[in-house]
Homo-oligomer: A and B are copies of this chain.
Amino acid sequence: MTKLRAHNIAVSLDGFATGEGQSLETPFGHAGGRLMQWFFPTHTFVSTSGHESEAVGAGTRGVDDAFAAASWDGIGAEIMGRRKFGPQQGEWEDESWRGWWGEEPPFHTPVVVLTHHPRRDLRVGDTTFLFRDLAPADALALATEEARGADVRLGGGPSVIRSFLEADLVDHLHVVVVPILLGRGVRLWEGLEGIDERFDTEATASPSGVVHHVWTRKPG
Contacts and interface: CB of A to CB of B under 8 A. Distances in A.
Contacts of A211: 177, 203, 205, 211
A109 B107 CA distance: 61
Contacts of A14: 15, 187, 189-190, 192
B15 A196 contact: no
Nearest to A193: B183
Contact of A205 (B184, B194, B196, B204): B204
Contacts of A215: 179
A92 to B, nearest CB: 35
A134 interface: no
A124 interface: no
A13 B179 contact: no
A48 interface: no
Given A14-B15, A15-B14, A211-B211, A192 B202 contact: no
A180 interface: yes
A24 interface: no
Contacts of A180: 196
Interface of A: 13-15, 177, 179-184, 187, 189-196, 201-205, 209-211, 213, 215
Given A13-B189, A205-B211, 5 more contacts: A15-B15, A179-B213, A180-B196, A201-B209, A205-B205
